[in-house]
Structure 1
Amino acid sequence: MTYRAGWIHYTNVAPILDRLVLPIGVTAVTGVPTEMNAALLEGRVDIANISAVEFIRNADRLEALPDFSVAVLGPVYSVNLFHTAPLPALRRVALTAQSATSVALLEVVLAARGLSPTLERAEGGAEELLASGYDGVLRIGDSALREWYAVAGPLTPETTMTSLPHTGRGITVTDLAEEWFRLTGHPFVFAVWAYRRDAPPPPELVRAMREARREGIGHLAEVAARHALKLGLPERVVQHYLWNFRYHLEAPDRLGLGEFAALAVPGHAPLRFGPRPGERRESVLPPA
């Protein structure tokens, strides 16, 4: 019987997915986060690196791999609120339909500041939407990374990779993961590898994923160079972007995930994770 994977293949998971060789009996399709969220929940795929908030919302029927995540501690550079007015003066914000987690994170950040601008679904580039009348635009993924660089770049030889610019051309780019860190002091988990509890992944697939991750992280400069060419960005920018990520769902990441779950989805069911290598029991992150 074929086991079906649904991959969201943004650059941020390239260190895992670029080198992944699927074992016999496993097939894969790709799509944006909302597409893969729906595919998993509707049973069209068996496992997917889905948005963290969808994992939380469906914790009664999903389980996640215990040692895989897409998380950051501080800025992420690819989940950005582009705005022409100061945050307290925002009136209309355009939201992408591609990511449920990023929208939920924006809502948490705004609520923490006591802000309530009108949030509207609208697709398009950040500058295009800002010019059309929105004073804020949420953008995610590779497009958001490129658009951040279009606003803040080009970098000069004197620019340090630890203090990258976030303004330019009359636009400010607020990094939502950085805002989360300022708010909580925790990492932010954007995605986990989740599966329906009645369809756990074959051990061969999990082993292949762990091996691919080890190889990808061990050759991060090569991964960055390849994707910098695709994105049209400097290699050092993409390498800095990739080395920010936390791919192992460690204790600080689970702490951040639990806090986000409590803020974004009050009353959610306990979050469940499969056993780590050598463990027999299932681990549970109870609702806060």
Structure 2
Amino acid sequence: MASVFTAPSSAAPYRAGWIHYTNVAPILDPLEVPPGVSVVTGVPTEMNAALLEGRVDIANISVAEFIRHADRLAALPDFSVSVLGQVYSVNLFHTVPLPELRRVALTAQSATSVALLEVLLREWGLSPTLTREEGTAQELLARGYDGVLRIGDSALREWYEVVGPLAEDASMTRLPHQGGAVTVTDLSQEWYRLTGQPFVFAVWAYRKDAPPPPDLLRAMRGARRQGLGELGAIAGRHAQRLELPQRVVQHYLWNFRYHLEEPDRRGLHRFADLLLPGHAPLEWGPQITP
């Protein structure tokens, strides 16, 4: 878990809401927030709501909610959770070929992953019934769904339950996506096939009336440098918690792009245009000094 702490302050704290999945461990594990900043954690939909309702001032929220509320939110200009190709933790588990999907169970934990699936289904010309339902992929498939959307650490574990165990000498660039009667379709990979661009799952967004203090931004940037330099150790800790091989978790982490570079912004704008034509302009800032 993170080494995030809340420092005491006589003034009202600046409130941060962290979604602490393994995919942001290289930023949040080493992060020590400065005095005057308080921290709460939750799943994506919880932190989305907390930011929009004013219960936190900044959060690493689902990019779909950033797009939908671009009139009220801005995002840090060089922080993201993006992937070019396979992500392994935003998965559609299914027992029939994609064109034959009829009933798909959706997690309530993520707005972006559901929106991405809806965009892909529309682009594929498919219109299965989508139902909010929680449970593991195997549980929901056994209940009669022929597709189940799972995200985050649980999706990573369940992917490995389907395809694993992997041989010690398995190529980490050719990891399997099928086991028995279950196929795992990686939605980030499908986005790449559709667009040739990275997919941005989350940005660090804040309410425009509550920009983050410079000390917090510097602490986040320093934590990211430290975390990327300690990727093996971070992967080892999280692999133990997830009960997965360290090499699998390390491969998972090194796929991520955490800096919101120009290719990521192009992918984000492409998704925004497909998700919400005519959306408000996306705003970036404040700039972070080294």
Q: Does 1:158 align with 2:158?
A: no
State the one-letter code of the partner of 1:246: R
Alignment of 1:67-146 (within 5 A): 67-146=78-157
Within 2, Cα distance between the matches of 1:154 and 1:88?
Answer: 29
Q: Deviations 1:177-233 (Å, cap 9, x if unpaired)?
A: 000000000000000000000000000000000000000001100000000000000
Alignment partner of 1:254: what SS? helix
For residues 148-176 of structure 1, the C-alpha deviation after alignment (integer angstroms, 9 at most, x for no partner) is 00001100123100000000021000000
Cα offsets for 1:114-143 (capped at 9, x unmatched): 000000000000000000000000000000
1:249 pairs with 256, 260, 265, which one? 260
SS in 1 for 2:20: coil
1:16 to 2:43 alignment? no
Q: Which residue of 2 aligns with 1:285?
A: none
1:158-237 matches, cutoff 5 A: 158-237=169-248
Among 59, 73, 85, the alignment partner of 1:48 is: 59
- The answer to whether the 8 A contact 2:157-2:242 is kept is yes
Q: What amino acid is the match of 2:122? A: A
Q: Report the CA distance shift for 1:62/1:48 in structure 2 as closer, same or farther (over 3 A).
A: same
Query: TM-score normalized by structure 2?
Result: 0.95
Letter in 1 for 2:260: L
Matches of 2:288 and 2:273, distance apart in 1: 28
Q: What is the CA-CA distance between 1:277 and the residue it aligns to?
A: 3.5
* Counterpart secondary structure, 1:271: coil
Which position in structure 2 is the counterpart of 1:148?
159
The two structures have a TM-score, normalised by structure 1, of 0.96
Q: Is the 8 A contact 2:211 2:286 kept in 1?
A: no
CA distance in 1, matches of 2:286, 2:157: 37
SS in 1 for 2:32: coil
RMSD, aligned α-carbons? 0.9
Give per-residue Cα distances to partners, 1:31-83, cap 9 Å, x unaligned.
Answer: 00000000000000000000000000000010000000000000000000000
User: How many residue pairs were aligned?
Assistant: 279
Kept in 1: contact 2:137–2:150 (CA 8 A): yes
Greater mean alpha carbon deviation, residues 139-148 or residues 263-272:
263-272
**Which whole-Å CA distance do the structure 1 matches of 2:215 and 2:209 have between them?**
17
Give a deviation string over 1:68-108, Cα, whole Å, max 9, x none.
Answer: 00000000000000000000000000000000000000011
Distance in 2 between residues matched to 1:169 and 1:132, nearest whole Å = 17
8 A contact 2:214–2:288 mirrored in 1? no
State the identity %. Answer: 75
Letter in 2 for 1:67: D
Q: Distance in 1 between matches of 2:73 and 2:142?
A: 41
Residue identity matched to 1:147? E
Specify the code of the residue in structure 2 equivalent to 1:97.
A
CA offset at residue 278 of structure 1?
A: 5.3
Q: Which deviates the most, 81-90 or 156-165? A: 156-165
Secondary structure at the aligned position of 2:74 is classed as strand
1:39 corresponds, among 50, 57, 63, to 50
Give the distance between the partners of 1:8 and 1:113, measured in 2 at CA.
31
**Gap regions ≥5 residues in structure 1:** 280-288
Q: In 1, distance between residues paired with 2:146 and 2:254?
A: 31
Residue type at the aligned position of 2:262: A
Q: Secondary structure at the match of 1:273?
A: coil
Structure 1: distance between partners of 2:213 and 2:286: 13
Aligned equivalents of 2:122, 2:190: Cα separation in 1? 12
**What secondary structure is seen at the aligned counterpart in 2 of 1:134?**
coil
Shift of 1:29: 0.3
